[in-house]
Amino acid sequence: MRLIHRQVKSPIAHCGLMINTGSRDEEDSEHGYAHFIEHVLFKGTKRRRAYHILSRLDDVGGDLNAYTTKEETCVHASFFKQDYARAFDLIGDIVFNSTFPQKEIDKEKEVIIDEINSYKDSPSEWIYDEFEALVFKGNPIARPVLGNKKSIQRVQQRDLQQFIANNYATNDMVMASVGDLPFKRVVAYFEKYFEAYPIIEKSTTRKQSNGYQPEIIQKNKKTHQLHCIIGNVSYSLKNDQRYAMYLLNNLIAGPTLNSRVNMALREKHGLAYNVESFFMPYTDTGIFGLYFGADKSDLPKCLKIIEKEFTKLRDTKLGILQLQRAKLQILGQLAISAENNELSMLSMAKNMLIYNDCPGFEETSKFIRNINEQEVLEVANEMLAPDKLSQLIYQ
């Protein structure tokens, strides 16, 4: 296992164990297992009952949580810096010693099915999962992280234990930490609470995407407004063009209020309340999309305006000042994010997991500052080409 730590002046510390296993590592018969495990890790270990797990950090003002994505599972905690030992001990215990009592599994099935239903009740969220299924059709990465009702209802204790045996490996785990403690002290805690666990080494091989074919799909969801995503398969975490793609995504409809499509659809024409674009890179592929919600009668107008903005980005290089502003926006977002110690800890873990390295703000800034107008134009022409864009519309 790898350990990475950053010392900061704060009474609060954060740590997390990130595992290189997510929903795309499931077999067809295991749909939803990675996420199910994240839930039942808290239900009991060889040393602790569920109540004692939940109380261990809560009793001292800390917080214990977990999440699952397509490619990783993470158990993480926030706590007073004097409670490092509690946090490391607890996280190691629930990851390596969970017993998955069948009665707890049976109760959690209903919780997860309710979670699935809550997403289906929110078309503005569910459409993201269905768009990813469209882009990555035929690949495990296309499946929703939560699973489906049938796969969840048949989960048994032995299934989860087998999934862990097949997929959890110590050489594919990273413990990350941010807090006001010297590195030597953190190493001492790490060795004390993790050295007894067995070394498990595996190589992660993931099924490659079968080849993307753009589609236009409309579904009648009987919603009050339409929901639409327009997008394309995109760059991976190991593709150098991802930096220009981050910048392009910001320009289109990233988190900034002055992004091009947000200004055109919402500010200029008043056609949409929610407009946002996203770029999600994975280890071997990625996805880009633009989401908007609008009145059903305004769909043709919205699509026409979006195509106009896409055409500008494909046909016209950014000016020097435009590019400089776009770079400063991303650098500002990175700097603000770095101020959040919990996000910083999770980012460190992910970088170590993928790259076995953790570039700091200055190093990352160099990649952003080196983006030129031609790169952005080339990425725009690849990502926004009309014959490569898929559409998914709920109306």
One domain for residues 24 and 63: yes
pLDDT digits (tens, 9 = 90+) for 12-21: 999 999 999 9
Where does a domain end: 142, 160, 194?
A: 194
pLDDT at residue 207, as a whole number: 84
Q: Does residue 199 lie within any of the structural domains?
A: no
- CB neighbour list of residue 386: distance below 8 Å, 6 or more residues apart: 307, 310
CA nearest 217: which of 205, 227, 204, 209? 227
Q: Does residue 243 share a domain with residue 185?
A: no
**Residue that is last in its domain, among 163, 194, 225:** 194
Q: Are 278 and 234 in contact (CB under 8 A)?
A: no
Length, in residues, of the chain: 395
Q: What SS3 class is residue 289?
A: strand
pLDDT per residue as tens digits for the range 64-75:
999 999 999 999
Domain count, the chain: 2
Angle between helical axes of 157-167 and 102-120 (0-180°, round to 10)? 80
Write out the DSSP string of 126-180.
Answer: HHHHHHHHHHTTTSGGGS-TT--HHHHHT--HHHHHHHHHHH--GGGEEEEEEES
CA–CA dist 206, 284 (Å, integer): 9
In a domain, 228, yes or no: yes
145 and 242 in a single domain? The answer is no
208 part of a folded domain? no
Structure confidence at residue 333 as a pLDDT band (50, 70, 90): very high
**Is the pLDDT at 209 greater than 90, yes or no?**
no
Under 8 Å between Cβ of 180 and 80: no
Which residues fall within 8 angstroms of residue 180, CB to CB, at 6 or more apart?
Answer: 7, 8, 9, 10, 11, 13, 81
Domain with 317 in it:
216-394
Residue 305 lies in a domain: yes
Structure-block tokens of residue 212: 């993307």
What is the distance between the alpha carbons of residues 69 and 139, in angstroms, rounded to a whole number? 15
Please give, one letter per residue, the 3-state secondary structure of 316-368: CCCCHHHHHHHHHHHHHHHHHHHCCHHHHHHHHHHHHHHHCCCCCHHHHHHHH
CATH number at residue 162: 3.30.830.10
Pair 263, 319 in one domain: yes
Q: Are 260 and 267 in contact (CB under 8 A)?
A: no
What kind and span of H or E run contains 312? helix 299-315
Q: How far is CA 101 from CA 32, 46, 108, 152, 250, in A?
A: 18, 11, 11, 16, 46
The whole-angstrom separation of Cα 33 and Cα 54 is 22
- State the pLDDT at residue 267: 93
Phi, psi of 44 (to 5 degrees): 145, 140
Tokens 């000016």 — which residue? 319
Q: How far apart are CA 176 and CA 4, in angstroms?
A: 5
Taking every pair of Cα atoms in the chain, the longest distance, rounded to a whole number of angstroms, is 63
pLDDT at 172: 96
Is the confidence at residue 84, as pLDDT, over 90?
A: yes
pLDDT in tens, 304-321: 999 999 999 999 999 999
Under the banding of pLDDT at 50, 70 and 90, the label for residue 223 is: confident
Cα 229 from Cα 277, distance rounded (Å): 9
